[in-house]
Structure 1
Amino acid sequence: MPSGGINRAQFLAGAGAVTVAAAAGELLGAGPASATGPRKSGLTYRGVCYEVGAGETPATGWNAARMRADMCAIKDRLHATTVSVFGDGVERLCATASEAAERGLHVWLQPRLGDRPEREILDHLAETGRYAERLRRHGARVHLSVGCEFVLFVPGIVPGDSAVERIENIMKGNFDPVLMQRRLKRFIGRAAAVGRSVFGGSLTYGAAEDDEVDWGLFDIVSVNYYAYHRSRDAYVRDLKPYRRWGKPVAVTEFGTCTFRGAPEQGGMGWDVVDYSKEPPEIKGGLVRSERTQAAYIADVLEVFESMNLYSATLYNFVSPDAPHTADARHDLDMASYSIVKTIREGAAGRWHWEPKEAFHTVAEHFARAGRRG
């Protein structure tokens, strides 16, 4: 067991015996105070996002053995101190969070069930939150995020039967912004109430940059931040308003894709693949550039450190369904935010990952910052 981790046998022996209090008031004692802790220069937590989805094929879906190896790499090779475990499937979320906690990593646990009825999304949140509470009661450092960018993932806030359709409608202006905000506020409130009812630690929500959120409902102010500016001062001006709530500020997603000009595309860098073709093709004659990705990440990390933000988690660790190939037309990894590249090993679906330049840049930054701290 790594130093600072949770012993698996001890955790499993006791976790099932924990009864979560039903009343939110009984659970709030470890809320805001656990989020702040002793302040120091730079980020308090530095890490990466890790998805636990089913994948497009069984070969690229979540796998317990692969996940354990990845958590080891995140802790020992990337030198991260935190990991944001997100996706759907409560068993996958919980197993990954437990592995991360056992290795001594701080954990952000974020259920992200999309394109389902509201009741199912909230039930999925409640079940995940109960497990997060059991982890917390047994010594893990864990925060619960009630979800991410509900405008995109929760049906009914803007028109569209899927997240992709809702993105298209937003970009085309096919929505009522006043009605959208009213619906978003209502669902965020419902999710916050569910989170409070089952989890006694610090609570947050992964907001988009333009979301209007009542941060009084949460202990940590969180933003998914994909902006591009030519100066670091501009990033600081962007992020300063999040401090007005007097709470810890976390960047719960940031990063860029792997081609020249990707940072300017922000959170839409992924939208450069023509999936109408078989196999899918990269559009527009883009040029792969691991250097571009690494340089952008290095710049914004320095901004976050200089502002003494609470946490920054890089999106994303690995994207198994976006493999790298030497053929630029079919190099789907160019449209990926991951800091490792997926390498296919033949027709059987086998694959492995290799670090990109950004992986090494982030690892050096995290190790250096850890020595300072």
Structure 2
Amino acid sequence: MEKTNGISRARFLAGAAAVGLTGAVLPAGPAAATGTSGQGRRHRGLKHRGVVYTVGAGETPGTAWSAARMRRDVRVIRDDLHADTLDVTGDGVERLTATAAEAAERGLHVWLQPTLGDVPEREILESIAECGRFAERLRRQGASVDFSVGCEFWLFVPGIVPGETVLDRVANLQKGTVDMAKMQRRLARFTAKAAAVGRSVFHGRLSYAAAQDEDFEPVDWTLFDVVGIDYYSYHRQPADYVRELKRYLRWGKPLAITEFGTCAYVGAPESGGMGWYIVDYDKNPPEIKGDLVRSEHTQAAYLADLLDVFESMNLYAAMAFEFVTPDAPHRTDNPRYDLDLASYSITKTIKDHPDDPSSEWHWEPKEAFRTLSRRYRMCP
């Protein structure tokens, strides 16, 4: 049965950013880089290069998920973006599995990651089991598949942080009233449960997508085969990224960057995970706060810089966040309503009728799309 978490990834990150948690900059710590894929052999550069594809139900009828649109997008991701990996995430088992199957059929490496929130723990574990069983079927049929049991459980799973909804939990974190030690114990218990469920149904490489602040979200990576990090740092020098990322290699396991990216305006990279937090949703229609300068080049240059870092470290995988954000349309008539400024998408959503929620829409590539396409095409 299809489920929806009732909140878009963009809106979730906007709230998380308000707490100052997503994309927090970590202090540099000592660690030894392995320079390997974690499977006993060296490789040059990234092993897998891809993009995140979210399969949520959509916030309006006009942005509802479409199987036909998904199939077209997967072909573009393979043939025009030249990605070799599709990170299939979101909620709704049918949407997730249909998209994963299409990616596998097109010869892409599949990173399948259900992300279900604001429902009972039992339903989240059932979703992990269903998706994991499907991933195992794909793997046995010869597809290249990694399975991630989820993303940042501390916010999506009720009962870890007090609050019935994502936004309630954000508010409680923002107030500073959460018992962090108790929260981390609950988080560890649920992560272990999720890993056990995933391991029971999927026999390939198992992972999880964690927030990059280890002090906030410590993960027992012995439970998993691949370390997964949602990475939104900003540094002026490449060496600072390397120093920061090396700490995740101390586990002696492959490191996957499960999300990386920024928005298309001047100053967005410096905002890290807070790049989303520029929309006033209390207004109708929502508007951009402040006088931001749109810059697709800023977004593209940041992606290129991070790819250089990931390639130099021979990481296992990196998936740019994200391919398309239908609920953040681009507008040229009035920059105040250009919600694409708050999107990390490498494409821009164009609605046929901007003021009509049910309007048809299409996407057009941003400079970031073209930059990734050139970079991915050059790789073996």
Question: Would you call these one fold, judging by a TM-score over 0.5?
Answer: yes
Aligned counterpart in structure 2 of residue 293 of structure 1, from 294, 299, 309 = 299
Q: In the alignment, is the contact (CA less than 8 A) between 1:84 and 1:107 conserved in 2?
A: yes
Query: How many aligned positions are there?
Result: 338
Residues 95-129 of structure 1 deviation map (CA, whole Å, 9 limit, x = unaligned) = 00000000000000001111111111001110111
SS of residue paired to 1:277 = coil
Match of 1:245, as an amino acid? Answer: W
Q: What is the match of residue 84 of structure 1?
A: 87
Distance (whole Å) between structure 1 residues aligned to residue 374 and residue 41 of structure 2: 24
Residue 144 of structure 1, CA deviation: 0.6
Q: What is the match of residue 365 of structure 1?
A: 375
Q: In the alignment, is the contact (CA less than 8 A) between 1:148 and 1:207 conserved in 2?
A: yes
Return 5+ residue gaps in structure 2 as ranges: 1-36
Q: TM-score, normalised by structure 1?
A: 0.88
Distance (whole Å) between structure 1 residues aligned to residue 177 and residue 110 of structure 2: 37
Distance (whole Å) between structure 1 residues aligned to residue 171 and residue 103 of structure 2: 35
Distance (whole Å) between structure 2 residues aligned to residue 169 and residue 291 of structure 1: 37
Q: What is the match of residue 216 of structure 1?
A: 222
Return 5+ residue gaps in structure 1 as ranges: 1-33
Q: In the alignment, is the contact (CA less than 8 A) between 2:38 and 2:252 conserved in 1?
A: no
SS of residue paired to 1:343 = strand
Residues 171-230 of structure 1 deviation map (CA, whole Å, 9 limit, x = unaligned) = 442311111110110000000000011111110000101220110000001100001111
Distance (whole Å) between structure 2 residues aligned to residue 172 and residue 141 of structure 1: 44
Aligned counterpart in structure 1 of residue 340 of structure 2, from 325, 333, 356 = 333
CA RMSD of aligned residues (A): 1.5
SS of residue paired to 1:256 = coil
SS of residue paired to 1:156 = coil
Match status 1:276 vs 2:282: yes
Higher RCO structure (Cα 8 Å, ≥6 apart): 2
Larger displacement relative to structure 2 (319-328 or 280-289): 280-289
What are the residue-to-residue correspondences of 1:222-371 with 2, within 5 Å? 222-326=228-332, 327-346=334-353, 347=356, 348-368=358-378, 370=379
SS of residue paired to 1:303 = helix
Q: What is the match of residue 77 of structure 2?
A: 74
Q: What is the match of residue 12 of structure 1?
A: none
Q: What is the match of residue 179 of structure 2?
A: 176
**Structure 1 residues 35 and 116: alpha-carbon distance in aligned structure 2, compared to 1, 3 A threshold:** farther
Q: In the alignment, is the contact (CA less than 8 A) between 1:159 and 1:174 conserved in 2?
A: no
**Structure 1 residues 86 and 341: alpha-carbon distance in aligned structure 2, compared to 1, 3 A threshold:** same
Runs of 4 or more consecutive aligned structure 1 residues displaced over 3 Å after TM superposition: 34-39
Residues 239-290 of structure 1 deviation map (CA, whole Å, 9 limit, x = unaligned) = 0011111111110011011211111111121111111111110001212111
Distance (whole Å) between structure 2 residues aligned to residue 314 and residue 168 of structure 1: 28
Match of 2:377, as an amino acid? Answer: A
**Structure 1 residues 83 and 192: alpha-carbon distance in aligned structure 2, compared to 1, 3 A threshold:** same
